[in-house]
Amino acid sequence: MTRRTRGGGPRPATLGELRASGYRPRTVKQEMRANLVALLASGGRLFPGIVGYEETVVPAVENAILAGQDLVFLGERGQGKTRMARLLVGLLDEVVPVVAGAELRDDPLAPFSTAGRAIVEAEGDATPVEWLPRDRRYGEKLATPDITIADLIGEVDPIKVAEGRYLSDETTIHFGLIPRTNRGIFAINELPDLAERIQVGLLNILEERDVQVRGYTLRLPLDLFVVASANPEDYTSRGRIITPLKDRLGSQIRTHYPRTLEHEISIMRQERTRFEDVPGGPQLEEPAYMLEVVAEISHLARRTPEVSQRSGVSVRVSTANLETLLANAYRRAVRLGEGTASPRVSDLVALLPSTTGKIELETVGDTIPEERIVERLVNRSLLTVFGRRLSGDLLDDVVSAFDGGLTIETGELVSSRDYVRWAHEVPGLGAAVSRLGAGESPAAVASAVEFVLEGLHLQRRLNKERHAAVGAGATYRR
């Protein structure tokens, strides 16, 4: 996507050299469209790292860019809207020429600002040219009710007025974020949170290409690709968006949460924080069924009436829960002096802080505390995954062993070696552990044994007695 000079030589440093190089200016939308066509032809991906949107969101975004339309992403929090906006920078040329010293990034061949035109008129072909990289051609603003026209568009600079310039002179304006993003991509998050008068100013600069500052009209034919994001409930005639601005944004693209557990797991594994191994510390394992449990918690939360669906259940809930689950397993392995850490069912109690901190509940009070709602989600998730992973007939021998008076005590202080011994001694338990793909790792075997026992309890085939002490675990019996 790099613009080369004729013969592949160094980039022109003056306007005269730029003309001689054969450079032809393109608008931002022309530039993005041409680069998208090249990307599609080569089989590249528009949004690397974005999972689950290949058949839904991505085609709509590609159509908007090919049609030359500004766009708005409609979706609840944690659906990748801001990330996709930032990734669009990859469709810009690697560098573009601008008039050196012009604050609005004027194209040297077609300057539009007063300052840019003055520089070109004074310097002619000797006008110095700078090359602006794509990462500096992106501007972003989170909409809040206290944003002013000065923040987005500009305001009269009293120092320039004191120097003797007239208010009607464009050079008296200190420009805001949008004009300073000229020839780039401007993203505004949570668009409906802007006050209506600010939305009107934004509409004017996008549609009419002018804006009024202190009663004076400024012509600003900016070259921009605009991306906005909004919550669907606010982006309606009953919400906080003015209809003309809504009409100006060409494509309204609905985002969504991951629709499959596989997508949820891929995202949370991709996004979780990773650290370098501590010398001598345990190695982390991630059993597939425990990853499913974490993903299932979020999927169930997105359907339960006890959780506010207006605010949504972000994928960040899954990511934070995975990080917390692995952290608790790691902490236990360090304390027990084990070389491998694998999350167990008893570690799921640690998910309370990372879950309640990221979801909003509809019914919270003395009768239904937050802890109880999260516990229900965890238990339902465990039962769902257990039913997918293991059949009841396979575990009949395990239940029969408990009928004979067997009891097993689990918990944070129980070493993995004890779980390995139970897997060998209890009829049917070793086969169930193998079905879960535990392998030979003691920590993985311990994780699988707890999963089997808890699943049988949730199916009401085993009784479970919780221990009062934190981290002490539980005793399973018939």
* Domains of the chain (ranges, CATH numbers): 6-254 (3.40.50.300), 261-477 (no CATH)
Q: Give the max Cα distance, the chain.
A: 98
pLDDT at residue 237, as a whole number: 57
The one-character DSSP state at 204 is I
pLDDT at residue 238, as a whole number: 58
Closest to 96 measured CA to CA, from 82, 110, 115: 110
Dihedral sign from CA coordinates of 289, 295, 299, 302: positive
Beta-carbon contacts of residue 478 (< 8 Å; ≥ 6 apart):
399, 402, 403, 405, 406, 462, 463
- Give dist(CA 329, CA 310) in Å, integer: 33
pLDDT at residue 212, as a whole number: 66
The CB density around residue 284, as the number of other CB atoms within 10 Å, is 18
The one-character DSSP state at 205 is I
Closest to 114 measured CA to CA, from 155, 162, 158, 175: 175
Distances (CA, A) of 332 to 195, 204, 277, 339, 412: 51, 59, 16, 11, 6
Task: Please check whether residue 315 is in contact with residue 271, taking contact to mean a CB–CB distance below 8 angstroms.
Answer: yes
- Give dist(CA 240, CA 406) in Å, integer: 63
Length of the chain counted residue by residue = 478
Helix (H) or strand (E) holding 212: strand 210-213
Task: Please check whether residue 351 is in contact with residue 325, taking contact to mean a CB–CB distance below 8 angstroms.
Answer: yes
The one-character DSSP state at 14 is B
DSSP letters for 326-389: HHHHHHHHHHHT-SEE---GGGGGGHHHHHHTT--BS--SSSS-HHHHHHHHHHHHHHHHHHHH
Query: Which tens digits make up the pLDDT trace of 146-173?
Result: 888 888 888 877 777 677 666 566 677 8
- Give dist(CA 100, CA 128) in Å, integer: 6
Each residue's pLDDT, cut to its tens digit, for the chain (478 residues) gives 334 443 456 899 999 999 999 999 999 999 999 999 999 999 999 999 999 999 999 999 999 999 999 999 999 988 999 999 999 999 999 999 999 989 899 999 999 888 899 999 999 999 999 999 999 999 999 998 888 888 888 887 777 767 766 656 667 788 889 989 999 999 999 998 888 888 888 887 777 766 666 666 777 788 999 999 998 888 875 568 888 888 888 899 999 999 999 999 999 999 999 998 888 889 999 999 999 999 999 999 999 988 888 888 999 999 999 999 999 999 999 999 999 999 999 999 999 999 988 888 876 555 677 888 899 999 999 999 999 999 777 899 999 999 999 999 998 889 999 999 999 999 999 999 999 999 889 999 999 999 999 999 999 999 999 886 655 689 999 8
- Give dist(CA 85, CA 250) in Å, integer: 15
- Give dist(CA 469, CA 100) in Å, integer: 69
Closest to 75 measured CA to CA, from 229, 298, 271: 229
- β-partners of residue 99 are 129
Helix (H) or strand (E) holding 219: strand 216-219
Whole-model pTM?
0.87
pLDDT at residue 9, as a whole number: 62
pLDDT at residue 3, as a whole number: 43
- Looking at 88-207, which runs of residues are DSSP E strands? 95-99, 129-133, 138-142, 154-156, 173-175, 184-189
Distances (CA, A) of 424 to 3, 312, 328, 420: 67, 44, 26, 6
- Looking at 47-107, which runs of residues are DSSP E strands? 71-74, 95-99
DSSP-based three-state secondary structure for 184? strand
pLDDT at residue 144, as a whole number: 87
pLDDT at residue 197, as a whole number: 83
SS3 content of the chain, % helix, strand, coil (to 5): 45, 15, 40
- Give dist(CA 178, CA 199) in Å, integer: 13
